[in-house]
C-alpha cells in the first residue's frame, strides 16, 4: 500500500487493518503454516511502518514501536513466552487504547 493512501485512513482504520493481519498471522502460526504466517506478519509490519510514517501518528510512535516489538518477539523467537491468546489480548488492548 502506498503511504499517501494509508495516511488518508483514520488511526482506527489503520489499527484495524494491522490487527486483521496480526490475527491472520497468529491463526496461521497456530496451524504451523510458516509460509502464510510470514506473509501476514510482513504485511502487518509493513503497515505498522506506514503508520509510524503518518504525521497524524507522531504522538503514537512509542505505542507503535511497542506493538512492533511484541510482534517481532512472538513470531521470531518468543522470548517473552506469549501464546495466541496473550498476543491477541495485547492487540485488543492496544486497539482499545488507541480509540
Return the C-alpha torsion angle 21, 88, 72, 62, nearest 10: 100
For residue 99, the model assigns a pLDDT of 58
Nearest to 48 by CA among 72, 76, 74: 72
Work out the end-to-end distance of the chain between its first and last CA atoms, rounded to an integer number of angstroms.
23
Q: Which string of b and e fits 30-42 if b means at least 16 CB within 10 Å?
A: eeeeeeebeebbe
Cα 60 to Cα 45, 53, 77: the distances in Å are 16, 11, 26
Could you list the mean pLDDT of each consecutive 10-residue stretch along the chain, which spans 99 residues? 94 90 96 97 98 96 92 93 89 69
Q: Which residue matches cell numbers 491468546? A: 85
For residue 98, the model assigns a pLDDT of 60
Query: For the whole model, what pTM was predicted?
Result: 0.89
For residue 89, the model assigns a pLDDT of 87
Amino acid at each position: 500500500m502506498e503511504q499517501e493512501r494509508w495516511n488518508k485512513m483514520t488511526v482506527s482504520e489503520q489499527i484495524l487493518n494491522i490487527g486483521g493481519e496480526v490475527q491472520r498471522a497468529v491463526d496461521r502460526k497456530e496451524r504451523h503454516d510458516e509460509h502464510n504466517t510470514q506473509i501476514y506478519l510482513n504485511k502487518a509490519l509493513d503497515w505498522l511502518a506506514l503508520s509510524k510514517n503518518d504525521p497524524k501518528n507522531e504522538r503514537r510512535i512509542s505505542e507503535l514501536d511497542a506493538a512492533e516489538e511484541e510482534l517481532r518477539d512472538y513470531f521470531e523467537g518468543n522470548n517473552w513466552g506469549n501464546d495466541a491468546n496473550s498476543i491477541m489480548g495485547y492487540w485488543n488492548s492496544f486497539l482499545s487504547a488507541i480509540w
